[in-house]
Structure 1
């Protein structure tokens, strides 16, 4: 091999080495920018950055567990609330119009609650409250009260299946 060929090969190797070095510098710059975006600065190394992120993720995990417990508690409280309501309006007496009498059922998810009825007549109004446990009252319910209770219980089933 003569010296000119050797010089040409050396030049090609030098150019390839220079390109490899340039690519390495560009990649190192990109990695440095990514580390800065993650919050690393000149005083912290990658290991401390990862340790901080691990701690942060661990705290998020425990916060998520606490929130899940709280949601379960709120679900239980919501189920016990009288959130299923139905009202039936009717004319209690044939000579009265306007459907001024009503029966309203207010029950929770298990069917516990009460039925309120207000019977409106010409000279007076009477109001009754009857307790309900498991969808059943110890006191006999009127047809309108049963209708209101059934409608409230049906709304309870609709929400349960959502």
Structure 2
């Protein structure tokens, strides 16, 4: 039971580290030129350029996410296993999976590029990626 709690804690820490890295990336982009410290343009062309820059910045954020909960084994109920897809507008990101059994839990991370993975995805991981896709 203690091992299960430790693995769940490690999975949570991994998710927090990924979220922190994404937040830091956004903060760095704002500092490097298109941040809110610059005065806003007053002409329509300047405003359109500002909106385009903001859209480009937003596309790099991991803002598409989905969670799929499931029972990995027949003898363990309660949907304690889960897959979490964290993706940007291009479909790049990661799928985190935690599989809980009666005596242990295992965690996996698989990279996603353009909504696909070079590693084989489980049906639940595929479902999480599909659910994270905009306009599905």
| TM-score with structure 1 setting the length | 0.55
Q: Distance in 1 between matches of 2:127 and 2:84?
A: 9
Matched, 1:63 2:34: no
Task: Tell me what 2:131 maps to.
Answer: 151
Task: Tell me what 2:108 maps to.
Answer: 128
Kindly provide the CA deviation profile for residues 118-145 of structure 1, in whole angstroms up to 9, marking residues without a partner as x: 0011221111110000011011000000
Q: Which runs of 5+ in 2 are unaligned?
A: 1-40
User: Counterparts in 2 of 1:16-55, with a 5 A limit?
Assistant: none
Task: Tell me what 1:119 maps to.
Answer: 99
> Larger RCO: Structure 1 or Structure 2 (Cα < 8 Å, ≥ 6 residues apart)?
2
Q: Distance in 1 between matches of 2:75 and 2:105?
A: 15
CA RMSD of aligned residues (A): 1.4
Local SS of the residue matching 1:96: coil
Q: Distance in 2 between matches of 1:86 and 1:104?
A: 6
Shift of 1:109: 1.2
Task: Tell me what 2:30 maps to.
Answer: none
User: Runs ≥4 in structure 1, deviation > 2 angstroms?
Assistant: 64-68
Task: Tell me what 1:91 maps to.
Answer: 71
Q: Which runs of 5+ in 1 are unaligned?
A: 1-61
* Aligned pair partner of 1:82 in 41, 44, 62: 62
Q: For this pair of structures, how many residues does the alignment match? A: 95
Shift of 1:66: 3.0
| TM-score with structure 2 setting the length | 0.65
Kindly provide the CA deviation profile for residues 104-128 of structure 1, in whole angstroms up to 9, marking residues without a partner as x: 1111111111111000112211111
Shift of 1:68: 2.4
Task: Tell me what 1:38 maps to.
Answer: none
Computing the radius of gyration over CA atoms, which structure comes out larger, 1 or 2?
1
Which is richer in helix?
1
